[in-house]
Amino acid sequence: MQKKALLCALLAPLVMGIGASCQKRKDGAGDGVHGQAGGPAKIVPNSPPQSAEEQKAPLAKIDDVTITLGEFEERINRQSPYIRARYTSLAQKKEFLDSLVRFEILAREAYKHGLDKDPEVVRTMKQVMIQKLMRDEFDAKVTADSVKDADIQAYYQANLADYVKPEEVRASAIILRNKAQADRVLLEAKGDAGKTNKGFRDLVTKYTSDEETKLRGGDLRYFDLSNKELPASVVKASFALVNTGDVSVVVDAGTGQFYILKQTGRRKSMTKSFDEAKPLIRNKLFREQRMQAQKDFVEKLRAQAKIEVNEANLAKVRIDTSQAVDDGRRDLQPSPAVPGGQNPPPPALGGSGGEQPIP
């Protein structure tokens, strides 16, 4: 029980600290003094640059572990601007340093308890390492800027219908085979019975002779003026209905059928030029190329590894579906004093949408 409590106490700051140190911010708001751990120092606004020797200056020593000025700055400058603003005075800096010392003391005690070999700790470390591996492999190699203009142009042309759309109208129809009956039903459709969409659908159910559209409540769905599936007179009459809810006169389809139409929607025409669509297409292709690159990378590693699967034993695995399993992680919440207390990214392959989580 004591070992589990220590694991919960340590794992939160350990994961948060490592996750924060690995995490890169797109907007640069959380960047540290270093571009990378041990890298050249960035100049903090309104402060003179520090030398490499100053970066190595010790701030605290816990047995054989030394916390340097450079490490302190890196850790605190990786926090959000809101958090950083709380640690500007000497007393507040001491508070943050104390949290780093606390981190090292807990880590040392965890090693004594053998928690570095605990399956949960090992799994968490693997997740963090995988996140960093995938970022190191793909953040610089596959970027939105690496998508070729020719590929964007080809995609635009192949999917032109998504960017250039004519005006469309949506209508519901009562379809009858007798003109005299259609004239009688029209009176109901234009009266109180047909005022609401539900009322019109009830008239469709009661009178229409077309079984296919009856199942949809008479809905003809959206169509444009070039539609060839509907009679031309029906298309023309539908577009002549100005407002949603308008009901047409009886329309002779020329096929022995007579339509009573109700307009239920209208879409304006849309034309998005290549230059307007280019940023969206670039981002879409970037995501697809990144996911494909990650898939190829993993498949290459799988091909190089010796993998054996025992399906007989796999079939014996029992899954508890009665309720969500509480594995103790509810207690692993970082305290405000722990450095790197921001939530780490979820354990996905590379941090972009579509990847599978690591178990």
What pLDDT shows up at residue 11? Answer: 52
126's tokens: 């693997």
Spatial distance between the Cα atoms of 211 and 30, rounded to a whole number of angstroms: 62
Residue 53: pLDDT above 60?
Answer: yes
Quick one: which of 185, 229, 190 has its CA closest to 208?
A: 185
Give 245's DSSP letter: T
What pLDDT shows up at residue 343? Answer: 39
Residue 336: pLDDT above 80?
Answer: no
Residue 334: pLDDT band (50, 70, 90) is: very low
Residue type, 104: E
What pLDDT shows up at residue 314? Answer: 86
Which stretch, 51-55, 56-60, 264-268, has highest mean pLDDT?
264-268
What pLDDT shows up at residue 64? Answer: 87
170's tokens: 């949506």
Residue 332: pLDDT band (50, 70, 90) is: very low
Q: For 83-101, how does the pLDDT look when each residue is reduced to its tens digit (9 = 90+)?
A: 888 888 888 888 889 999 9
Spatial distance between the Cα atoms of 15 and 23, rounded to a whole number of angstroms: 12
Residue 234: pLDDT band (50, 70, 90) is: very high
Among the residues of the chain, which ranges form H helices? 2-22, 52-55, 69-77, 81-84, 90-112, 119-138, 149-158, 179-190, 197-207, 211-214, 232-240, 274-304, 311-314
Residue 29: pLDDT above 50?
Answer: no
* Domains of the chain, earliest start first: 164-271 (3.10.50.40)
What pLDDT shows up at residue 63? Answer: 87
Residue 52: pLDDT band (50, 70, 90) is: confident
Q: Dihedrals φ, ψ of 186, to 5°?
A: -60, -40
Q: What percent of the chain has pLDDT over 70?
A: 76
Query: Looking up tokens 């970027």, which residue turns up?
Result: 143
Spatial distance between the Cα atoms of 127 and 313, rounded to a whole number of angstroms: 25
Residue type, 82: Y
Q: For 128-165, how does the pLDDT look when each residue is reduced to its tens digit (9 = 90+)?
A: 999 999 998 888 888 888 899 999 999 999 999 899 99
337's tokens: 């004093």
Query: What is the biggest distance separating any 2 CA atoms in the chain, rounded to whole angstroms?
Result: 100
The number of beta carbons lying within 10 Å of the beta carbon of residue 273 is 10
What pLDDT shows up at residue 2? Answer: 52
The number of beta carbons lying within 10 Å of the beta carbon of residue 342 is 15
Residue 268: pLDDT band (50, 70, 90) is: very high
What pLDDT shows up at residue 231? Answer: 96
Tell me the DSSP string of 293-334: HHHHHHHHHHHHS-----HHHHTT-----SS----SGGG-PP
What pLDDT shows up at residue 315? Answer: 92
The answer to whether 350 touches 25, Cβ cutoff 8 Å, is no
What pLDDT shows up at residue 309? Answer: 86
What pLDDT shows up at residue 345? Answer: 39
Range with lowest mean pLDDT among 120-124, 150-154, 341-345: 341-345
Is this structure's pTM higher than 0.85?
no
What pLDDT shows up at residue 31? Answer: 38
